[in-house]
Amino acid sequence: MTELRRELGLRDLTLFAIVCMVSTRWIPAAAHAGPGSLTLWLLAAVLFTAPLADVVGTLSVKYPGAGGLYLWTRRDFGPWHGFLCFWIYWLSMAFWFPSAAMFYMSAGLDLLGPSGAHWGENRLCLTAVSLVAIWLALGTNVIGMKIGKWTENAGGASAWIMTALLLVVAAIAWKQRGSATPLHIWPTWNWGSLNFWASIAYAMSGMELAGMIGTEIHDPERTLPRAGWIASGFVTFFYVAATMALLVLLPPGGISEMSGLAQAAVASSRATGAPWLIGVLAVLVLASAVGQFGGIGTSVSRLPLAAGMDGLLPAYMARVHPRWRTPHISMALFGALASFLLLLAQLGGTLAEAYQVLVSLMVIAGFLPYVYIFGSAWKAGKRASALSGWFVTAVAILCSLVPTEHIVNVWLFETKLAGMTAAIVGSGWLVFRRYSKFALSQTGVVPS
């Protein structure tokens, strides 16, 4: 196999981690839930993001190589557990892509005005535009990290600029008329908000993605831990600052989870008397989205690459493009799966229900691998980080099972979650069983 090129320094990796972790889609949801979200962001940072950064830095040094969590789990718990960890995480990211694309495309259409908002509410139109966005982001990153890293850098920088801009606008609005929301930051507890608590924890995850590209980082032993702490600090600041800015501009009841960014853009324009702010915020949101699509798509494509090298997937999954030095086949397969799941989620229920099913499945499948990651952390001596990570993981999975106010048919919602979660684990077992037997027949040993 042709080696992957080392293209990322501290700046590149820090912006890469930021763009993978920062998602503007969670800002209107947090603001809609009220000022108590500010406390939840800080708790998630202390109890999950900081321990995860500590763990990723430690495990990346202990087990250097491509594949990250697959490599760590395989070394500590054996080939089946390593494969299951990779398989669940890989599929969780496949759920992430369509749900994120639906949000960002809906937000972009909303910023075009009433006619755009009309198309954003059309399921067929939104699905088609989301598919285009998925394939555009993956296609541009196939040509390699040397070029693709600038997409991620631009996305990470856009998050910085957007945060600063929102804070300036919120300060102007505060001076003019005060805050639109009383900032009582104690979280309110009710059944309808529990699902959102899981989303808060999920939004603060993602540092493990940087660990998957260890072979493409200059001096990863020093660069990864430093980038992890810098990125974690910024991500915490971003979510707290952006949520507070929206709450100053608008009351929680006036913020929609799907179109809240457009509402904030309009409010920003009115507060400053600058209509051009709507266009600027739209560009920043879309730039951060494209960067995030590219960063996450690039990272997760390294998982099938590592499994293919071990003989636990078809040999062609380990192929690297001879010119671009990227796992092009792995990336194409991921795009096809994300597209299929986007179409599958549209069956039955409303558009809001389809989006919520994707979010809940994404959270469940996204957090299950952390059981293994923090298990490896425990073996590496990071006991406090492991215990804190396990606690947040358990809470997030349980909260994601609680239906939100958008769910009309609770039984259909829970059936979809149970059925698709079982399908994820079951399909992983079937694939592992087939290819581990094949590897055993060829070499006499199961890959370790």
User: In the numeric block, which tokens belong to residue 420?
Assistant: 């698709």
Separation of CA 250 from chain center: 26
Question: What is the structure's pLDDT at 294?
Answer: 78
Task: Sort 188 into a burial class: Cβ within 10 Å, 0-12 / 13-18 / 19+.
Answer: exposed
DSSP assignments along 34-81, one per residue: -THHHHHHHHHIIIIIHHHHHHHHHHHHHS-SBTTHHHHHHHHH-HHH
Q: Which residue range is the domain that position 395 belongs to?
A: 10-443
DSSP state, residue 113:
-
Nearest-angstrom CA–CA distance, 5 and 179: 50
State how far the alpha carbon of 69 is from the alpha carbons of 201, 216, 293, in Å: 19, 16, 20
State how far the alpha carbon of 215 is from the alpha carbons of 9, 168, 205, 221, 228, in Å: 12, 40, 22, 11, 16
Q: Is 1 domain-assigned?
A: no
Nearest-angstrom CA–CA distance, 315 and 178: 62
Q: Is 2 domain-assigned?
A: no
Q: Is 179 domain-assigned?
A: yes
Q: Is 240 domain-assigned?
A: yes
Angle between helices 36-44 and 191-203 (to 10 degrees): 40
DSSP assignments along 295-355, one per residue: HHHHHHTHHHHHHHHTTSS-GGGG---TTT-S-HHHHHHHHHHHHHHHHHTTSSS-HHHHH
258-293 burial: b if 16+ Cβ within 10 Å, else e: bbbbbbbbbbbbebeeeeebbebbbebbbbbbbbbb
Query: What SS3 class is residue 382?
Result: coil
Q: Which is it for the CA torsion 150, 155, 156, 158, positive or negative?
A: positive
Structurally, the chain folds into a number of domains equal to 1
- Residue 62 identity (one-letter amino acid): K
Tens-binned pLDDT, residue by residue, of the chain (448 aa): 446 666 677 888 888 788 888 888 888 888 888 888 999 999 999 999 999 999 998 898 888 777 789 989 999 999 899 999 999 998 888 878 877 877 777 777 776 666 566 665 677 787 887 888 778 777 776 766 566 566 777 777 787 888 888 899 999 989 888 888 888 877 666 655 666 778 888 889 988 888 777 677 777 778 888 888 898 999 999 999 999 999 999 998 888 877 777 788 888 888 888 888 877 887 787 788 777 887 787 788 888 888 888 888 888 887 877 777 778 888 888 888 888 877 776 665 555 666 667 677 778 888 999 999 999 999 999 999 999 999 999 988 888 777 766 666 777 777 878 888 898 899 999 989 887 765 544 444 445 5
Predicted TM-score (pTM) of the model is 0.82
Question: What is the structure's pLDDT at 115?
Answer: 58
DSSP state, residue 184:
-
Q: Is 152 domain-assigned?
A: yes
427-430-433-439 Cα dihedral, nearest 10 degrees: -80
DSSP assignments along 255-274, one per residue: --TTTHHHHHHHHHHHHHT-
Q: Is 374 domain-assigned?
A: yes
Q: For residue 161, count other CB atoms closer than 10 A to its CB.
A: 15
Q: Is 330 domain-assigned?
A: yes
Q: Which helix (H) or strand (E) holds 211?
A: helix 208-211
The CATH number for 423's domain is 1.20.1740.10
Nearest-angstrom CA–CA distance, 42 and 368: 22
Block residue for tokens 């369509």? 98
